Structure formats: structure tokens, C-alpha cells
Amino acid sequence: MNTLAQTQNASKTPARATILRPALSVLATLTLITGLAYPLATTVVAQLTMPNQANGSLVVDENGKVVGSALIGQQFDKPGEFWGRLSATGNKPYDGVNSGGSNLGPSNPALIKAVSARIDALKKADPGNTRPIPVDLVTASGSGLDPDISRAAAYYQIPRVARVHGIGEAQLKALVDRTASRPLFGYFGEAKVNVLALNRALTKLH
């Protein structure tokens, strides 16, 4: 009996080694390819072909200081600034960590409260403006990080910004139009205004 058991165990050992060796080889190979070679290759290609986008589309001022990202909205709430959509970045100007929708429905009290608070802030900053408030000024995007507003949202704010800086409204309207991106191929989508770019252009103007 002992001789038979020893023979059976000896026959199992090579079989296990035969199965385990290729499995470990495949694991090591895939780890090198997907965990090292592929990320390294994509990083190198991205840095060579599109370094600005690969590094977050950061916006740098004249002094070399990073002031934001062209892809991530941030809070602007001073009377002399153009305001963007409600941002999820919190106290960090262009941090995308908090990205995500609130999943609040249109009848949710929390959403109604947030929208009402933004409406009150807009009216308080410009009490003489009786025009309808564009919806994108009082709501967040799906990600909470949208850096753009509609041209209508920028036009709505022109009287307030013009009054604060003593700039003609026609001049500010022209500034908005110059900053606005065009629809894709001139037909698809609508013109959008990057709020950070608009405020930087405003700073240079006044």
C-alpha cells in the first residue's frame, strides 16, 4: 500500500509543475505588458504628441503660475467676474477628485434649495437685471466640473461685469463672442464659452 501511495504522489508532482509553470509565465508576461509596457508606451506617445492635454490642459498665467485647467470648471463668485456653472471642486480651484453627478431629481428639496440659493446670489449681485436667468447658471453639469457656459449665460452677466469695471456692454459682448468656441463644423452643438478663458481675457482688457 505504501509503495502504491508513493507512486501516485510522485506522478502528481510533475503534473502540478506542468500546470503551474505556464500559468506563472503567463501571469508574469501579462503583468509586464499591461502593467508596465503599455502604460509606459501610452505615456510617452501622449507626452510627445499632445503634452498639454496629457498634463491636464493646465492654464498658466504670464508669471508661469498655474491658474486652472481648461477642462475643469472652478468657482467664480466675485461681482466683477463671469460666473460659471455650479462646481463640484469645492475649495480646490481645479481639482477633479469630486467629479460626479448628485443624482438629485428635479423635485428633490436639496436641488431646489441649491438652485434657489444661486438665483438669489445672481439677483443680489445684479438687482437691476430682470432678464430670465439661463438654466446653466443655476445648475451643475453631470460631472459637476463643466468649465463652459452657454453664450446666453455669458450675455446675461454682461451688465453686472460692465458696471463693476466701467466697461461698455458692447465691448464685453464682443469679448464674449471672441472667446466663444464655434459649433462643430459650424452646425453641431452650440457655441460655448470657457469661463476661465473669458475671465482671463477680461483681466487683460481692463
pLDDT at res. 68: 74
**For residue 32, with 0-12 CB atoms within 10 Å meaning exposed, 13-18 middle and 19 or more buried, which class applies?**
exposed
Mean pLDDT of the chain: 82
pLDDT at res. 89: 66
Q: What percent of the chain has pLDDT over 90?
A: 39
Q: In terms of pLDDT, which residue wins out, 28 or 59?
A: 28
Question: C-alpha cell of 9?
Answer: 504522489
**b/e code 121-147 from CB counts within 10 Å (16+ = b):** ebeebbeeeeeebbebbbbbbeebbbb
pLDDT tens-digit profile of 153-203? 999 999 999 999 999 999 999 999 999 987 776 667 778 999 999 999 998
pLDDT at res. 200: 92
Neighbouring CB atoms inside 10 A of 54's CB total 15
pLDDT tens-digit profile of 1-26? 555 455 555 555 566 667 788 888 88
Report the C-alpha gap between 133 and 119 in whole angstroms: 8
pTM score of the predicted model = 0.71
Question: C-alpha cell of 184?
Answer: 462643430
pLDDT tens-digit profile of 121-144? 999 999 999 999 999 999 877 777
pLDDT at res. 145: 79
For the segment 41-64, the average pLDDT, to the nearest whole number, is 80
Q: How many CA atoms lie within 13 A of 29 on its CB side?
A: 6
Q: Which of 33-37, 46-50, 81-85 has the lowest mean pLDDT?
A: 46-50
Full DSSP string of the chain:
-HHHHHHHHHHHHHHHHHHHHHHHHHHHHHHHIIIIIHHHHHHHHHHHH-HHHHTT-EEE-TTS-EEEETTB-----STTS---S--S-TTSTT-GGG-------TT-HHHHHHHHHHHHHHHHH-TT--SPPPGGGTS--SSS---EEEHHHHHHHHHHHHHHHT--HHHHHHHHHHHSBPPBTTTBS--EEEHHHHHHHHHHH-
Question: C-alpha cell of 75?
Answer: 468657482
Q: Which residues pair with 30 in a beta bridge?
A: none
Report the C-alpha gap between 56 and 72 in whole angstroms: 9
